[in-house]
Amino acid sequence: MRRRHTTTRLLAIAALALPLTLSAAPAVATPSTPARQLTDVIPVPVDTRPDARAAFRLSPLTVIRTAPGSSAAWQVGRQLADTLRPATGYPLPVLPVPSTPLPEIALVLGEADHRVGQEGYQLDVTRRGVTIRATTPAGLFAGTQTLRQLLPADIEAPTRQRTTWTIPGGRIIDYPRFAYRGAMLDLARHFHTVDEITAYVDLISQYKINYLHLHLTDDQGWRIQIDSWPRLTTVGGGPGTGVDGVGPGYLTKADYQAVVAYAAARHVTIVPEIDMPGHTNAAQSTYPELNCDGVAPPPRTDIAVGYSSLCINDELTYRFVEDVIRELAAITPGPYLHIGGDEAHATTDEDYRTFMNRVLPLVSKYGKRASGWNEIAQADPPADAVAQFWGTGTTNADLVDAVTRGTKVIMSPANKSYLDMKYDATTRLGLRWAGLIEVSDAYGWDPATRVTGVGESAVLGVEAPLWSETLRSLDDIEYMAFPRLPAIAELGWSTTTSHDWESFRTRLGEQAPRWRLQQVNFYPSPQVPWI
Ligand code: IFG
């Protein structure tokens, strides 16, 4: 009964859309940009087979058909429709039906090439339409991000364009090299609002980034509500906190859950970080009892590091840490909880190991997998712990030793992937302690050979941290992240055999019209042929 009704409805749509079709067809095709190739995508797909005879052109009749019975697939279809409707002006109804007589973009769960795995997709473009096949909704979403880039850049316009919406024909089989492809925002040094975080999620998800690490606490600010220690945010995240005291800000639990949901709808998983035992001045200046001498140090708004340490041999410290981990784990659906561990210069090596060996197991007690900066390898991290390498060198004995015991590594070499590093000596924003990072530096390395003794099988993936000592706005975030974040995204997704600077810089240049239409405040690197 439903099927007949649906078909009738579809034909009604077709009848309605027909005049639109006639009126919308431009007198002459107006190619707005050079013909797009299936490889004109970042990250570059694994396997592309063009078929010039099979180009597909969106029209007012096009429908988006999603796998019946999958609300997640339907959500991917809705997101795609929301992306394509403004610039095309087409209805693009999203229909969870087994088939349609109309030209379609079909999102199908199952039937994909076996190589696609859990995150990949198969995308077929023929004269009759587009079919994206995947094992999971995440794979469908990845396929729609590729489809978005296969359309002319005008697709990013917020208003209707008289562009010919042609998609190049052929087949793409695509899937990621690494499972973890992350970005990081530091909310502690400067508090970025929910709107700034979700705007960043909109951008990073276009490049198949699938994790966003939020650095929630540090010396200058505590940015996540913890019910059992309420002054952490009202004071530690209060007025005057942050670098240069730029002001209050923290995520309530509702804010955090809204960010988690927004990111999840774009198949980005949030990884929260509570940095300890160092980088804890915001907490310790708020609660005197968290200090060994019971005296609260003054709040800090400078950018020095390494001067703070929780009181390692005081039981209250571990009640505090367990309260925080418990409350944060309860509102974090993702698998990881990051406990920091970096620059604990005010903690003795022995105390550091004592602390970490008590705290790391608390993360798994509350159902999460512990991650931490690579210093955690100095303790005895549990086998499933993840160490995030942020060194500038190519060796690290503790890390290699932990890897032999099963630790996996997220690669974030500071001289390659730290987006808060200046592009060159003239860059107003950013720091330069790890060196200057132009786009070619961010692209020119291999996560599987960066650290001797940490090979492909030990590398979980990559992450591009953006520390906020010098950032104050979304414009600042965008200026430092674009165009270098797409470089890290390609390192995380694409194959070593497709790694090619000339190809990447050309494809990067082709992103400019898209970023201008999305009002992305990107850095126009002289290394890139921007179109
Ligand atoms: N190192 C510190 C960060 C931040 C960064 C700025 C790590 C793991 C320098 N720790 O990077 O807190 O200050 O580039």
Q: What residue ranges in 67-195 does DSSP mark as E strands? A: 94-95, 104-109, 121-126, 129-134, 166-167, 170-174, 180-186
342 CB within 6 A, ligand 1 = yes
CA of 281 to the centre of ligand 1 (A): 15
Tens of each residue's pLDDT in the chain, 531 residues: 334 444 555 555 554 444 444 444 444 444 445 568 999 999 999 999 999 999 999 999 999 999 899 999 999 999 999 999 999 999 999 999 999 999 999 999 999 999 999 999 999 999 999 999 999 999 999 999 999 999 999 999 999 999 999 999 999 999 999 999 999 999 999 999 999 999 999 999 999 999 999 999 999 999 999 999 999 999 999 999 999 888 799 999 999 999 999 999 999 999 999 999 999 999 999 999 999 999 999 999 999 999 999 999 999 999 999 999 999 999 999 999 999 999 999 999 999 999 999 999 999 999 999 999 999 999 999 989 999 999 999 999 999 999 999 999 999 999 999 999 999 999 999 999 999 999 999 999 999 999 999 999 999 999 999 999 999 999 999 999 999 999 999 999 999 999 999 999 999 999 999 999 999 999 999 999 999
CA of 467 to the centre of ligand 1 (A): 7
State the closest ligand 1 atom to the C-alpha of 433, by its place in the atom list counted from 1: 14
Provide the pLDDT for residue 57.
97
Ligand 1 pocket test: which of 305, 388, 470, 471 has the largest number of ligand atoms within 8 Å of its C-beta? 305
Contact 144, 108 (CB under 8 A): no
User: What type of residue is 521?
Assistant: N
Burial of 318 per CB tally in 10 Å (0-12, 13-18, 19+): middle
Provide the pLDDT for residue 10.
52
State the closest ligand 1 atom to the C-alpha of 421, by its place in the atom list counted from 1: 14
State the closest ligand 1 atom to the C-alpha of 465, by its place in the atom list counted from 1: 11
Q: Is residue 364 helix, strand or coil?
A: helix
- For atom 9 of ligand 1, the residue with the nearest CA is 467
97 CB within 6 A, ligand 1 = no
CA of 11 to the centre of ligand 1 (A): 59
Q: What is the dihedral of CA 366, 371, 374, 377, to 10 degrees?
A: 40
Ligand 1 pocket test: which of 276, 302, 343 has the largest number of ligand atoms within 8 Å of its C-beta? 343
* CATH number corresponding to 180-499: 3.20.20.80
β-strand pairing of 369-373 with 386-389: parallel
Q: Is residue 294 helix, strand or coil?
A: coil
Contact 166, 152 (CB under 8 A): yes
Q: How many CB atoms lie within 10 A of CB 89?
A: 15
186 CB within 6 A, ligand 1 = no
Whole-Å CA distances, 175 to 5, 363, 462, 520: 38, 30, 16, 27
H helices, E strands: number in the chain: 16, 17
- For atom 3 of ligand 1, the residue with the nearest CA is 467
Q: How many CB atoms lie within 10 A of CB 5?
A: 9
Q: What is the dihedral of CA 327, 328, 334, 338, to 10 degrees?
A: -140
Which distant-in-sequence residues (6+ apart) come within 8 Å of 398 by Cβ?
374, 375, 377, 378
How far the first Cα of the chain sits from its last, in Å, is 52
State the closest ligand 1 atom to the C-alpha of 343, by its place in the atom list counted from 1: 10
Q: How far apart are CA 234 and CA 251, in angstroms?
A: 11
467 CB within 6 A, ligand 1 = yes
**pTM (2 d.p.):** 0.94
389 CB within 6 A, ligand 1 = no
431 CB within 6 A, ligand 1 = yes
Q: So which residues are the catalytic ones?
A: 343
Kindly report the backbone phi and psi dihedral angles of residue 120, in degrees, each rounded to the nearest multiple of 5, phi listed first.
-90, -175
State the closest ligand 1 atom to the C-alpha of 467, by its place in the atom list counted from 1: 6
Provide the pLDDT for residue 32.
46
- For atom 10 of ligand 1, the residue with the nearest CA is 342
CA of 452 to the centre of ligand 1 (A): 23
- For atom 5 of ligand 1, the residue with the nearest CA is 467
State the closest ligand 1 atom to the C-alpha of 373, by its place in the atom list counted from 1: 8
Q: Is residue 269 helix, strand or coil?
A: strand
Provide the pLDDT for residue 8.
53
Q: How many CB atoms lie within 10 A of CB 63?
A: 26
- For atom 11 of ligand 1, the residue with the nearest CA is 390
Residue boundaries of the structural domains of the chain: 2-174, 180-499
State the closest ligand 1 atom to the C-alpha of 303, by its place in the atom list counted from 1: 13
User: What type of residue is 44?
Assistant: V
- For atom 4 of ligand 1, the residue with the nearest CA is 467
306 CB within 6 A, ligand 1 = no
- CATH homologous superfamily of domain 2-174? Chitobiase/beta-hexosaminidase domain 2-like (3.30.379.10)
515 CB within 6 A, ligand 1 = no
Contact 477, 471 (CB under 8 A): yes
Kindly report the backbone phi and psi dihedral angles of residue 77, in degrees, each rounded to the nearest multiple of 5, phi listed first.
-65, -40
Q: Is the dihedral of CA 37, 138, 520, 274 positive or negative?
A: negative
CA of 516 to the centre of ligand 1 (A): 31
Ligand 1 pocket test: which of 302, 338, 342 has the largest number of ligand atoms within 8 Å of its C-beta? 342
- For atom 6 of ligand 1, the residue with the nearest CA is 467
305 CB within 6 A, ligand 1 = yes
- For atom 8 of ligand 1, the residue with the nearest CA is 342
